[in-house]
Chain A
Amino acid sequence: MVDSQAMLDKVWFILPEIWLVIGAMVVSMMGLSGTRLVRDAVPVVVCCFLAVAMAGIAWVYGDADRLAGIDLLMPQLGPYVKMILCAIGIVLAMLSVGLIDRPLEDSLKSGRARFDPIRTSRGEFFAFFLLSLVGAMLVCNANDLIWLFLALELTSLPTYIMVAISRPSVKAQEAAVKYFFLGALAAAMFLYGFALLYGSTGTVVLTEMRDAFAEQAAGDGLNRLAIVGMILAVLGVSFKIVAVPMHFYAADVYEGAASPVTAFLAFVPKTAGIVAIILLLGTVGWSGHGAPGAGGLPQPILVTLWMISVLTMTLGNVGALLQRSAKRLLAYSSIAHSGYLLIGVIAGPGMGINAVLFYLLAYGVMNTAAFAVLSGLQRQGEEIESLDDLAGLRHRYPVMAVVMAVAALSLLGFPPLLGFWGKFSLLIAGIEAHRMPLVVIALVNSAISAWYYLRLVGLPILAMPTPASESITHRPVPWARVAAVIAALGLVALPLFVNELLP
C-alpha cells in the first residue's frame, strides 16, 4: 500500500531531525566524560550540530522535485519554522552554558570532590534540549494524527526534565511537577480530541481528513463529533502555546525554572503548538482565502478561537500589570503574545499564516534577548528575579541595560524594531480578513502593555541604583551576555531584511 518512494521522501525531509537525534546521543555521552574539557565542549557541539542542521534544512528543501511530490497539508511551513527553531536554538544553547552542574564543577575545580558520572546532568540536559527541538521540528512534517501526537509529546516530555534539573532549588522541582501534571492533562485532552476527529472521518491522515471534511461540509454540514473533537484538540494544544484556558501554570513554571530554560519554554513548545493548531485547522480550512480545506472554519470553532485569542491577550496583559517579578512579568507577556498570534491563525492562510510565522521569529528573538539579560546576571550565585534588581542597571552594566530596553521596546511593538514589524503584519492580516473587532482589541491591549514594558525600559536606563541592585554581578561565564547582545543586534538589524524574512 505504501510505496517505497513515498517512504523515502518522508525520511528525506526529516534528515535534519535524524542528524539532531544523533547529536543528542553524542552530547549525552560527552557529558559523562571524566575530562573537564570534553564536558565543557558540550554546548559547542550542540551549536555545531544545530548549525549543520540549518544547512541541512536548506539542502533538503532545495530539492524541488521531492518538494512538489510531498504529501503534506501545508508543506510551506516546514523550512521556515525549522530554520527559526535551529537559529534561535543556537542562541538558547549559548544561554544555557554553565547553567547545569555549576556547584559540582566548582567543587571539582577546587579539588574537593572527585568526578562521578552519576552526579552530572549536563549531557542529559543538552540532549533533552536537542530532542525537544527535534519534536518541534517534526510537528511541521506531521501528516497524520499519530505523528502529530508523538511530535507534540517529544517536544514536551524533555522540557519537564529540563525544568526539574535546571537549578538545584526546590522551586525548579515544584515548577516541574506543576508543568508535568498540567501537561499530562492537556495531552490527554487533545488526544481525546484526536480520537473524536478520527471517529468522524475514519482516517488519521490529515490530507484525507481534509477531503472527508470537505465532503461532510458539502453534504449536511460538519459532523458534530468532528466539531467537539476539534475544539478539544485546540484546547489541549493551547497548553503548549500558553493560551487560555491552559495558561495559569505559566507564571509559576516560568518563575521556578532557571532563566535560560524559561526562555526555551516560552519559544519552542509555543512554536510547536502554533504549528499544530494551524495543521489541525487546515483540515477544515478557512473558506474564501484559497485555503487547503474546502469547508471553511465552522462557526463553533471560529467562536472558540476568537474567545481564546481575546481572553488570552487580555488576561496576559492585565496579569503582567500586577507583577513585581521580572520573570513572572515576562511569563504573562508570553501569554499575551499567544493571543496576538491567534489573530493571524484566525485570519487564515496567505497573509495570516505568514504573519504568524514571522511573528514567531520576532517573538523568539526578543524573548530570548530579555531572558538572556536575566541569565547573564546574578546575585551571589542566585538568579535575579525582582524588577527592582534591574533598577539603575545602566550604571553597572550599560550594555545589558540597553539590551533589556531594546527587548522590551520590541515586545511592546515599538517601530522600527523587529517586534513592530511582527505585530504590524499580524494586524494587517487581521484587517485583510475582516476581523476588525479582534484588531481593535489587540491595539487596546498593546496600549495596556506599554505600561509594564516601559517599566522594563525605564528601570534599567532611567532609575537610580538601589542597595539591592548594587549587589548584582555578572555570571562568570560570558556566553549569556554574548547571546543577549546577538539577540539585541538581531532586533535592530533584522528589520532591514523584512522582505526577505517574510515567508
Chain B
Amino acid sequence: MISMKSKKLTKYDIKNIKRGLFFISPWLIGFMVFTIYPFIASLIYSFSVYNGVTASKFVGLKNYIQLFQDPKFYTALYNTFYYAIIAVPLGIVLGVLVALLLNQPIKFLSFFRTAIYIPVIVPTVAVSILWIWLLNPEVGLINWLLSLFGIKGPGWLADPKWSKMALILMAQWGIGQSVLIYLSGLKNVPKELYESADIDGANGFTKFFHITLPMITPLILYNLIMGVIGSLQYFTQAYVMTNGGPMNSTLFYALYLFQNAFQFLSFGYASAMAWILFIIIAIIVYILLKTSARWVFYGGQ
C-alpha cells in the first residue's frame, strides 16, 4: 500500500506502517521475548560459566576450547551423524516405497493409509516406552519375530553396537508423516506423462525412474531437509529409553547438551554446544539447498 509514485515515504505511508506494526505487535513481542532474547542470551552465556542460579562469569572462548578437547563431544557428534546419515535416507526410501504401495488401487486402501499414519500421532514418550519392550532382547516382539526366521536377535538397546540401530529401526515406524506428503505428490503427477510413456512402450521401472521420481523430487528435498534438521537434534527417545547408554553409544548431541545444562549445571557449556550445532545445521542445509538445483525438478521448468 506504500505509494509507488515516489521513493520518499509520505505521512500516509508512515501511518500505514505504524498501523501494521501495531497489529502484529503481539506476535512481535512474543518473537522478541521467546525467540530473539533467548537466541542472544544463549550466545552470551556460551562465553560464560553459568549454573542458572548464581550470577554468570565471563570466560571468553574457554567453553569452546573445552568442547573441542572433550571426548564426549566427539562421541555425541559421531552418534548423531551416524543416526542422521542412516535414518534420513532410509526414511526417504521407505517413505517413497510405501507411498507407491499406497497409491495402488487395492482393497482396504483407506485402512492401510490410516494404519500407516497412526504411529505419527502417538506421543513420542509413549512410543519410546512401547519400543523399550518391543526391543527387549529376551522377551521383545522384534527378537521373537526374528527367531521365527531362525535369526538370533541382538541385544538392541542393551548392546552398545546395536543401540543406535534399534533407534533407527524405531524411527521408521513413524514414516507415515512423509508417506502422506509423498502420496499427495504422487497424485499430482500428470496422467498424460504416464500415458505418453505407455505409448512409447515404457515398463514400470522406466516410468518410475523417469517420470514419478523426478516429479516428486521437490517433496524429497523438503523431507530431506526436515529430516536432517530433525535428526541432528534427536533427543526425546534417547532421553526416555537409554539416557545415553549403554556406554554412551546413544549419547546424542542434544542429549549431551541437556545433560550439561541440567545434570552438570553448566549452562554456558551447553549454550556453546547449541551454537555449534546451529552453525553445523545451517551449513548443511545451505549445502543441501545449493546442490539441490542439480537433482530437483520443479514442474514449471
Do A and B pair up? The answer is no
Binding site for A on B (CB under 8 A): none
A-side residues, CB < 8 A to B, are none
